[in-house]
Chain A
């Protein structure tokens, strides 16, 4: 009556589910990854590709450390993927800039750095402000517009090709013996003796002792069935992509970066529009106008594609990892930095799922942190 059974079922084949499933199989677990069809709302296909540390974790120190650790082990993670699959994720860690184009933006960046430093307390947070001349020295091949005044710089920032990352994780998972089942939209989780069964919209059943719910925007509904509260909401981000250009941006500049393939990605909006993932003329216009202000020579560059994608946004912008108390062995993992955190997800989540081993302070990520607090607006 089961289509298939496994030690662990990972629900969701996006950036988060993909990393966890890859890690689980490499840790020796018999793993089944269930995924939706071709037309699913996939944040994994719509994101910006930053492996970003400088602005992550304000208000939750554990998240700052988690992002930092992720950046530290990303090279090794990426090398492993390439070795086992031949796919190069294009990861580079040249450091990253957040450009400031007005006095307010300069003040805001300075304020973030001061707050993050104070919060970290241990000297572990390193980002600092650089002036226009230093920016020009770091990015010598383009001319900056007069509005570019300063930037915050963090040496731990980098970027990868998110599509190649996703492909590599899927290939690595399958090479290590993992089984991938597309067109399986999970609609229910039920008990099956000591174990669990998941039921798909197509009516198929799959069995496992453990389940990781990592299906992005589908988490709140499934988590509720096993007694877990998942307070995430969609937040739209629009992105523009240009034609391929000669290499000219040696490091990602927050909302402007050049990919390993040569195209320039321009981003990115933060819009509260529910599950509407369309892209719009006015926001595209605003993104283009900002890009032209920062890099006036880009005026004649062609934008060849554009899209809107829905971030999976927790109330405080920080990840949530939890295990159900009433359905032990069922886990939920949700966050909106699936690229940045892919390396720690592949490394640590399997230990938690398989053996209950967690890194120090991991319980800070529990959804319990929201108990009784009004949901704060997330920082950018």
Chain B
């Protein structure tokens, strides 16, 4: 039978830890499940060990803030379960059952309230050659730096757009590996049109200042910066050898490269909420599908599940601590406990929200999906090219679900994490509909692969399984 707690928190990033701390301080039993070995989530990955080895200075103040947050989380009596991967959630007994993998077994944990804070991941950015070894996301290289102390090998090209790209460039430079070439997929002309957001964004001025600081320090040590790149291509025999690009004004460029890091902003990690069949809405400004939830994070169509942090919509780590605390307090008081959300929750949220429109305007997703060439692989798992998707759409496939049936897009182990957005965009393009009117492909439990042996631990029914 399932073990049982008052509140289960999924994800031990800024949002999940904040939720757990509030709920535990309210006197409730809390379990936190996370697939990493240590708490911190994406931004504060491995922060305890990095602090211990004296490298905290490489990553800036936002990262350093994780030291206290993790310590505060560790000081509670929360039942923290690292290396635990959530594969599904089922509604059960006026709450939910979390299905998860740990130590080679699938387990079931019942919770009266559930707080889902699985964070975000980088928006997949398909271009010709992006499957070559040597091409990885900038966030991946940051993880390698935080955990293994690894640096990109030269010649090193960094390509993409967004505030995080600028931060990463600064971090690599601080660690002694500035990119040789920086290809900016954003349009510097946009800066001015974004100016109208300036006043509202003032409230979030501290974040903005940081942004400007990164921008300035960005060019230090970089040999060449190319602005408004509209076409990117990687090539090589079996691994990356060269990067080619074109800019909006038609200028071509090419360079040898050993490492190409790409980044196109982040999108909510909504695999679980989608598999739970929570309705999701396309947020046009953020160009992302977000689960529908109330102001304190309660998910539409459930009375017992909440979403917090970047999982709910991209607002960054400071806002994640606020939405996490709010969801924790709301879930705790729903169970009759007295919960005090931590200080200045609304203020932190307001500042993050205020700066968002400016960032969205400055950094729309770089990839104009219509520009994906027919020979670009869009589904990495099944090696399916954009051309086949367009062909199937022309034959009458109506959307992502039927495309999946026809072509297997989204049927590999990543379950559409890498292709779902692109497939939806190609479908919208072919059907002449807005992305907001296009759904992503359906998802189901398990949201990550599970071995036969692991899965067999969920067997409780011993049901009769007649054949055919």
Contact = CB atoms under 8 A, between A and B. Distances in A.
Tell whether any CB of A sits under 8 Å from a CB of B in the complex: yes
Contacts of B439: 38-39
Interface stretch (A116-124, A202-210, A218-226, A299-307): A299-307
**What's the interface size class on B, roughly?**
35 or more
Interface stretch (A47-55, A342-350, A360-368): A47-55
A269 B452 contact: no
Contact of B463 (A163, A286, A300, A307): A286
Contact of B405 (A166, A261, A306): A166
Contacts of B452: 242, 266, 288, 291-292, 298-301, 303
B39 interface: no
B4 to A, nearest CB: 15
A264 B449 CA distance: 14
Given A292-B452, A303-B452, A304-B449, A282 B402 contact: no
Nearest to B455: A288
B466 interface: yes
A311 B433 CA distance: 32
Given A285-B456, A285-B459, A50 B449 contact: no
A183 B395 CA distance: 14
Interface in B427-468: 439, 442, 444-446, 449-453, 455-463, 465-468
A288 B459 contact: yes
B335 to A, nearest CB: 24
A289 B453 CA distance: 7
B365 interface: no
Interface on chain B toward A: helix, strand, loop, or mixed SS? loop
Nearest to A87: B406
Given A283-B463, A299-B453, A302-B451, A180 B396 contact: yes
Contacts of A267: 465
A254 interface: yes
Interface stretch (B18-26, B129-137, B340-348, B410-418): B410-418
A377 to B, nearest CB: 12
**What's the interface size class on A, roughly?**
35 or more
Interface in A26-45: 37-39, 42, 45
B153 interface: no
B457 to A, nearest CB: 7
A282 B458 contact: yes
B398 interface: yes
A58 to B, nearest CB: 12
Nearest to A46: B405
Nearest to B411: A305
Nearest to A307: B444
A174 interface: yes
B399 interface: yes
Contacts of B277: 278
Contacts of B466: 270, 380
Contacts of A170: 395-396
A186 interface: no
B467 A255 contact: yes
Contacts of B412: 304
A54 B446 CA distance: 32
B99 interface: yes
B459 A183 contact: no
Contacts of B415: 304-305
B468 A281 contact: no
A133 to B, nearest CB: 21
B88 interface: yes
A285 B450 CA distance: 11
A281 B449 contact: no
A167 interface: yes
Interface in B58-84: none
Given A286-B459, A288-B452, A290-B465, A281 B445 contact: yes
Interface in A211-267: 240, 242-243, 254-255, 261, 266-267
B213 to A, nearest CB: 44
Contacts of B402: 38, 45
A305 B447 CA distance: 8
A45 B395 contact: no
A320 B442 CA distance: 31
B467 A98 contact: yes
Contacts of B97: 281
B120 to A, nearest CB: 23
A127 B203 CA distance: 77
Contacts of A300: 451-453
B219 interface: no
Contacts of A282: 458-461, 463
Interface in B16-72: none
Nearest to A54: B468
Contact of B465 (A182, A269, A292, A303): A269
B453 A305 contact: no
A303 B108 contact: no
Contacts of A330: none
A39 B455 contact: no
A279 interface: yes
B162 interface: no
Contacts of A98: 467-468
A200 B244 CA distance: 51
A101 to B, nearest CB: 10
B398 A38 contact: yes
22 contacts: A37-B399, A39-B439, A45-B405, A50-B468, A55-B467, A98-B468, A163-B406, A182-B398, A183-B398, A255-B467, A266-B452, A270-B466, A283-B461, A287-B455, A290-B465, A292-B456, A299-B452, A301-B452, A303-B449, A306-B445, A307-B444, A380-B468
Which 5 A-B residue pairs are closest in the complex by CB-CB distance? A285-B458, A254-B467, A38-B399, A285-B459, A288-B455
Interface of B: 88, 90, 97, 99, 106, 108, 277, 395-396, 398-402, 405-406, 408, 411-413, 415, 439, 442, 444-446, 449-453, 455-463, 465-468
